[in-house]
C-alpha cells in the first residue's frame, strides 16, 4: 500500500470536509491545481497548515466563501480566442437560425465576460431575441459580478482588440458606458440571460439545450469527473445540439466520444450525432 504524504492526506480531508459541510465537491478536481490554490490561500487565511484551514472553514461560512472563490476557476475575458468566435458565427449560428426558440447553457460562466460576448454576437446576427441563455457557476460571488456586468475600464482595450479580431460588426464601445475606472455593459444584453448556481460535479441535467458552452473548465477535472460532466452535457443537449469546449480540451478521450461528431474540430466544437 502506497503511503501518502501528510500534506496529501490533509488536502484529501479538506476536500471531504468541504463536501460534507457545504455540498461542494472538489474531490475529483485535478489534485495539482487544487493543491496549488489551497496552499496559496493559507497565508491569506492566516493558517500555517491545511488542517488549520479545514478547522477554520468548518466553523466559518465566511471563511469558506473566501476559499471557494480561490478554488473556483475565474480566469476569463471577453471574446477570448477570437478564432473560436469566428468559427461559431460561420458554422453554428446558421444552424441556430433554423430554430424558433434557442436555449443556450453557459456552464462555468465565472464573472460573465464570455456570456456577454456571446450575447453581443447573437445580437449582431439577429438571433438574440429568440434566445435564452442560462449562465451557471458554483461561485455565488462570481455570479454576482456577472449579474452586475461592470468591469475595469482598463480591460476594455484588450476586449476591443478581441472583439475586432473575432469579426465584430460594430464599435465595441457601443456596448458599454465608461465611468471613472469602470465600464458598465449595456443593460439590453442582460434581458435574456438567467444566472444561477449549478455545480457540475454533483448537480443534475440542465434542460434541453441547443448549444452548451463549457470552455476551459474541464482541464481542472480528473478523467472521472470529465466523463461525468460530458455525460451531463450529452443528456442536456437537444437533437443536433452543439457542445463547445476550450482549446486544451477534447471530447475524444471521454467514454462518450462516439456520441459526438466533429463540427469544427480545430475549435473543439462538437455536435450530437443523429440517431439512426
- Per-residue 3-state assignment (H helix, E strand, C coil) for 238-270: EEEEEEEECCCCCCCCCCCHHHEEEEEHHHCEE
Residue 24 confidence (pLDDT): 85
CATH dotted code for 82-272: 3.40.50.150
- What pLDDT, on the 0 to 100 scale, is given for residue 3? 79
Distance in angstroms (rounded) separating the CA atoms of residues 231 and 227: 6
pTM of the model: 0.88
Burial 51-75 (b: 16+ CB within 10 A, else e): bebbebbbeeeebbebbbeebbbee
pLDDT at residue number 276: 56
Low-confidence spans in the chain with pLDDT less than 70? 1-2, 73, 275-276
Order of strands across the sheet with 260-264?
A: 193-197, 131-137, 102-107, 209-214, 237-245, 269-272, 260-264
Which has the closest alpha carbon to 187: 149, 146, 153, 159?
A: 149
What is the pLDDT at residue 77?
A: 93
Phi, psi (deg, nearest 5) at residue 158: -65, -40
Cα torsion 24, 234, 103, 159: sign: positive
Closest by CA to 234, choosing from 193, 275, 196, is: 275
Angle between helix axes 6-22 and 61-71 (nearest 10 degrees) is 110
CA 57 to CA 3: how far, in whole Å? 27
pLDDT digits (tens, 9 = 90+) for 93-150: 999 998 999 999 999 999 999 999 999 999 999 999 999 999 999 989 899 999 999 9
Pick from 53, 73, 66: nearest CA to 7: 53
The domain spans of the chain are: 6-71, 82-272
What DSSP element (H or E) covers 127? none
Amino acid at each position: 500500500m502506497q503511503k501518502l504524504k501528510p500534506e496529501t492526506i490533509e488536502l484529501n480531508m479538506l476536500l471531504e470536509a468541504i463536501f460534507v459541510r457545504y455540498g461542494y465537491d472538489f474531490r475529483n478536481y485535478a489534485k495539482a491545481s487544487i493543491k496549488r490554490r489551497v496552499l496559496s490561500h493559507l497565508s491569506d487565511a492566516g493558517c500555517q497548515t491545511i488542517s488549520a484551514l479545514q478547522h477554520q472553514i468548518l466553523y466559518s461560512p465566511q471563511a469558506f466563501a473566501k476559499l471557494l472563490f480561490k478554488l473556483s476557476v475565474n480566469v476569463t475575458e471577453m471574446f477570448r480566442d477570437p478564432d473560436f468566435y469566428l468559427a461559431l458565427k460561420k458554422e453554428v449560428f446558421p444552424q441556430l437560425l433554423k430554430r424558433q426558440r434557442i436555449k443556450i447553457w453557459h456552464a462555468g460562466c465565472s464573472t460573465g465576460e464570455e456570456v456577454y460576448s456571446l450575447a453581443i454576437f447573437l445580437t449582431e446576427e439577429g438571433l438574440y431575441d429568440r434566445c435564452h441563455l442560462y449562465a451557471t457557476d458554483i461561485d455565488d460571488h462570481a455570479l454576482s459580478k456577472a449579474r452586475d456586468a461592470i468591469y475595469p475600464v482598463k480591460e476594455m482595450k484588450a476586449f476591443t482588440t478581441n472583439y475586432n479580431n473575432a469579426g465584430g460588426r460594430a464599435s465595441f464601445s457601443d456596448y458599454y458606458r465608461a465611468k471613472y475606472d469602470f465600464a458598465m455593459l449595456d443593460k439590453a444584453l442582460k434581458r435574456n440571460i438567467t444566472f444561477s448556481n449549478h455545480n457540475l460535479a454533483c448537480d443534475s441535467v440542465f434542460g434541453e439545450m441547443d448549444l452548451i458552452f463549457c470552455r476551459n473548465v474541464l482541464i481542472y477535472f480528473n478523467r472521472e469527473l470529465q466523463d461525468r460532466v460530458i455525460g451531463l452535457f450529452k443528456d442536456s443537449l437537444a437533437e443536433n445540439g452543439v457542445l463547445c469546449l476550450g482549446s486544451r480540451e477534447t471530447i475524444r478521450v471521454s467514454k462518450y466520444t462516439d456520441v459526438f461528431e466533429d463540427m469544427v474540430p480545430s475549435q473543439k466544437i462538437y455536435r450530437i450525432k443523429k440517431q439512426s
